[in-house]
Amino acid sequence: MEWKASHILVKDRALAQQLLIRIKQGADFGSMARENSTCPSKSSGGDLGWFGPGKMVPSFEYACKNLGVGSVSDVVQTQFGYHIIKVTGKKD
């Protein structure tokens, strides 16, 4: 299985929660990533491209496995900070 995902990475859980609320209310994910993410992927709206098992930290990969295409995760904590993840593709 491979996934394609975009994410927003921030250092503060409260900010991540605020961004998630805005996204669930209809804010554009890519715009939110460009404006708020600390990851270099922000320049492409948070797009991380395609990746397979073992390429991301376990909690990030777990979230991707359990989301449908087009779905947005709850806040996911990793050693890098707090992520909001949107799965944009899946393939076997």
Map 20-54 to HEC letters.
Answer: HHHHHCCCCHHHHHHHHCCCHHHHHCCEEEEECCC
CA quadruple 12, 43, 53, 22: dihedral sign: positive
pLDDT of residue 32: 98
CATH number for the 2-91 domain, one of 3.40.50.2300, 3.40.50.720, 3.20.20.100, 3.10.50.40? 3.10.50.40
pLDDT of residue 61: 96
Residues 6+ apart with CB under 8 A from 32: 8, 19, 22, 23, 84
Collapse the DSSP code of 81 into the 3-class scheme (helix H, G, I; strand E, B; otherwise coil) and give the result.
strand
pLDDT of residue 34: 98
Domain assignments of the chain as residue spans, ordered by start: 2-91
pLDDT of residue 37: 98
pLDDT of residue 24: 96
- CA nearest to 74, candidates 16, 5, 29, 34: 16
pLDDT of residue 87: 98
**Cα separations (Å) of 28 from 35, 51, 54, 61?**
11, 23, 29, 23
pLDDT of residue 81: 98
Local mean pLDDT, 10-residue blocks, the chain (92 residues): 97 98 98 98 98 97 96 98 98 92
